[in-house]
Amino acid sequence: MRDVFHDQLDSLFDDLATMAGLARVSVAEATKALLTGDVAVAEQVISDDATLDRLREGIEEQAFSLLSLQAPVAGDLRIVVAALRMVAELERMGDLSVHVAKIARLRVPDLAVPGPVRPLLERMAKVAETMTAQVQRIIAERDVSSAADLALIDDEMDQLRRATFSAMLNDDWPHGVEAAVDLALLGRYYERIADHAVSVANRVVFVVTGEHPVAVPR
């Protein structure tokens, strides 16, 4: 009976890894829509978010079933509770990608990102996609050592976020208020995707070790 239970716990993590993979695709496709002005891609990101929502519901139902029927304790309970928290964060990463896609769609046939700051947004998007891909692997492999690396990658995202503010607050900013608002929102969306990735990775560390990662002063 306990073997079946532990198979169910493994299945929870498999589904979380699948969800992380979908979030990674959502980030990549939303960025594609943003940088190309492709409204069809933006619409696809928005509609595909329903798949993430359904997967979240399935994972939550499975977790609540395990809590009520198996009454897990100690490490097993830690896994189930962490899964419930991780699934919410993964869904939020998908939601943030939808926000990016909606900005892209709103500005069609123009592009939301002015040319001079395009490299900055491209880099933020690349960092976010890298972090979501790494989270997928961390969940699948329960890779504690790689989880620690995400905090270092997140430092770059924070620096890029500050650079977006510097760009739009510069006295020479020629692109108007609308573009500045878009840039502020996009920077926030990508930064939050990164923050959620770090949080999910930290929860994997907690599942494996029973300890919360110690924050490194920045």
CATH topology of domain 2-209: Methane Monooxygenase Hydroxylase; Chain G, domain 1 (1.20.58)
What confidence category does residue 214 fall into, taking pLDDT thresholds of 50, 70 and 90?
low
Domain boundaries, the chain: 2-209
As a 3-state breakdown, the chain gives helix, strand, coil percent values, each rounded to 5, of 85, 0, 15
Any residues with CB less than 8 A from the CB of 175 and at least 6 apart, and which?
114
How many residues are present in the chain?
Answer: 218
Report the SS3 class of residue 171: coil
Q: Do 168 and 183 touch, CB atoms closer than 8 A?
A: yes
Helix (H, G, I), strand (E, B) or coil at 175: coil
Examine the pLDDT at 218 and tell me if it is beyond 70.
Answer: no
Distance, CA of 81 to CA of 65 (rounded, Å): 12
Convert 185-212 into a string of H (helix), E (strand) and C (coil). HHHHHHHHHHHHHHHHHHHHHHHHHCCC
Query: Among 132, 118, 120, which residue's Cα sits nearest to residue 17?
Result: 132
Q: Alpha-carbon torsion 68, 203, 160, 94, what sign?
A: negative
Tell me the pLDDT tens digit for each residue of 14-25.
Answer: 999 999 999 999
Question: 111 by DSSP, 3-state: which?
Answer: coil
Q: Provide the pLDDT confidence category of residue 216 given band limits of 50, 70 and 90.
A: very low
Model-level pTM greater than 0.75?
yes
The residue that leads in pLDDT, 171 or 88, is: 88
Across 147-174, average pLDDT: 88
Does 1 score more than 70 pLDDT? no
Q: Could you read off the pLDDT of 103-154 as tens digits, one per residue?
A: 999 999 999 999 889 999 999 999 999 999 999 999 999 988 888 888 889 9
168 pLDDT more than 90: no
